[in-house]
A and B are shown apart, each in its own frame.
Chain A
């Protein structure tokens, strides 16, 4: 079984169950891949010894009744892991070792998986290219000069390079879907409140949501099932019955109504994105779905709204990093205030500081109404656009991103052009809806492109079903040459 790591999570689970491979052999195969892939810089921390112990424990006493029996998983370094360093990609948390486990990772371990390592990400999940991490850029396995997307760039890179069978990321404005699109993988941002935020390093609390990143839609449904669920410790967790997404996965989408929003395009959008969208529409139509033109008129205001709401919440969430209770502390400064100022100046990177300053400004005395209140009102209009459309359609199909993966360094000097990358993903976070990014084709350079399916709140099953049917008929194949090993 030399190529076990090429396979999907569901195939791997089958191999474990039928004892074709042991959990230990599987874990060793991934460790070997990871050791050969240092060039990608996808990992901040590896937990190989712990993973090998857990694999042996599983093999000695296998329990195959669980969703993720005997599988090692690497996760984004934004999830707090008990006794394993958790950095959020930041210098300010470079020495932080949580004494607790996030609910979402605990759910994965309770379903039989165990930790393989922690994946690099943009600092505090603020970025679209994984270039803001204190631990350096992550490289896209598609090409050594390309970004893997962000902020879950370590997650997308590791998944596409076969360094983990599946992974989890977080998505505040597109941080799961955009990197999935850039690496030819599947990424789901669930409905706000479906997965607990407890134990995840906070960025923008009204937008943050954890979700799966996988090689197939079936894998995505398995991971979502394992990680989701009500949690008393998250005040915005939705209390509802747990769903069995993988068992209910169906590829019959006949009669479903798919909305096509006319506003999802930008100036100078490559022709290939339009062609990809057309291809997606045709596949769904051929499967018996009905295409309906819709309008989401406030789409162009989603990004400006996001760049008020997200920094405002971030400036408040990141106030906790004061060099007193945990994290980095500067040795400079003659009093307490100077200690704070130097700690935060040395501990945070440029993008994080920029966003804290934007957030502090829009919330400061005299400006609140002009910015934050205004943004909350526009957010209402954006949500209403979706509410109105979902009286007519079951799901909405759009491109995931306005371009394929861009070059490292291409957008670092122009924050607004970097932000524009999230133009098709951000509206969904503002409205709290679920959305799935699916690999759908390649551009003329051979780089992956994704399409996005947006669903009604808590309608994950439906977009997974549409994605499942789409995947079977799309013919997309991600063949990555392993140039790094």
Chain B
């Protein structure tokens, strides 16, 4: 299948990336050549194959439901581009 400009704009919306109108054409061309390459997989019949979800022969460990750290608000806020004393600050969401 081929991706058209509208589809790409839709996917970009889903991914929360604004796409420069001037770049949509070259992006469409690149993505279509990549998908053409990817779609080689359709040559293979995989009807009876189980999907591989983990390459490890172990199931995920569970841990005790205990708090192992905490009280690190300052560390967590340190790299925020905009904050007040205790919170991350974002553009207004609720009128």
User: A interface vs B, CB < 8 Å?
Assistant: 95-97, 99, 192-193, 206, 232, 235-236, 238-239, 298, 300-301, 303-305, 307-308, 315, 319, 322-329, 333-342, 344-345, 348, 353-354, 356-358, 360-361, 364, 371, 373-381, 383, 414-416, 419, 430-432
Contact = CB atoms under 8 A, between A and B. Distances in A.
Contacts of B93: 335-336
24 contacts: A193-B56, A303-B37, A304-B40, A315-B15, A322-B16, A334-B91, A341-B17, A341-B18, A348-B17, A354-B34, A357-B15, A357-B17, A357-B31, A358-B34, A361-B31, A376-B52, A377-B51, A379-B52, A380-B52, A414-B33, A415-B33, A416-B34, A419-B34, A432-B56
Contacts, number: 155
Contacts of B34: 307, 354, 358, 415-416, 419
B91 A380 contact: no
A153 B79 CA distance: 27
The size bracket of the interface on B is 35 or more
B50 A380 contact: yes
A357 B11 contact: yes
A361 B49 CA distance: 23
Given A340-B16, A364-B11, 9 more contacts: A325-B79, A325-B80, A326-B79, A329-B82, A344-B16, A373-B51, A375-B41, A381-B46, A419-B34
Interface in B36-95: 37-42, 44, 46, 49-56, 58, 60-61, 63, 72, 75-76, 78-82, 88, 90-93
Contacts of A328: 81
A357 B79 contact: no
Contacts of B54: 206, 236
A302 to B, nearest CB: 10
A376 B81 contact: no
A301 B44 contact: yes
Given A377-B50, A377-B52, A325 B88 contact: yes
Interface string B1-44: 00100001001101111111000000100110111011111101
Contacts of B17: 341, 344-345, 348, 353, 356-357
A416 B39 CA distance: 13
Given A341-B16, A381-B46, A381-B49, A307 B80 contact: no
A400 B40 CA distance: 23
B60 A342 contact: no
Given A377-B51, A381-B49, A307 B38 contact: yes
A425 to B, nearest CB: 16
Nearest to B81: A329
Contacts of B53: 376
Contacts of A379: 51-52
Given A325-B79, A374-B41, A377-B50, A358 B56 contact: no
Contact of B31 (A239, A303, A358): A358
B51 A419 contact: no
A338 B93 CA distance: 11
Given A344-B17, A380-B50, A416-B37, A336 B78 contact: no
Contacts of A96: 79
Contact of A335 (B14, B39, B91): B91
A97 B78 contact: yes
B34 to A, nearest CB: 6
A456 to B, nearest CB: 12
A227 B79 CA distance: 27
Contact of B15 (A305, A307, A356): A356
Contacts of A322: 16
- Ranked nearest first, the 9 interchain pairs of A and B with the lowest CB-CB distance are A432-B55, A376-B51, A326-B79, A329-B81, A341-B18, A377-B46, A380-B52, A99-B75, A360-B15
A336 B90 contact: yes
A328 B56 CA distance: 35
Nearest to B60: A235
B11 A324 contact: no
A307 B78 contact: no
Nearest to B72: A99
Contacts of A235: 60-61
Most buried by A among B15, B30, B41: B15
A431 B37 contact: no
Given A416-B33, A416-B34, A232 B63 contact: yes
B79 A327 contact: yes
A97 B19 CA distance: 29
Nearest to B3: A361
Most chain A beta-carbon contacts within 10 A, residue among B14, B42, B52, B75: B52
A305 B52 CA distance: 12
A341 B8 CA distance: 15
Given A300-B40, A354-B31, A415-B33, A333 B14 contact: no
A433 B74 CA distance: 40
Contacts of B91: 333-336, 339
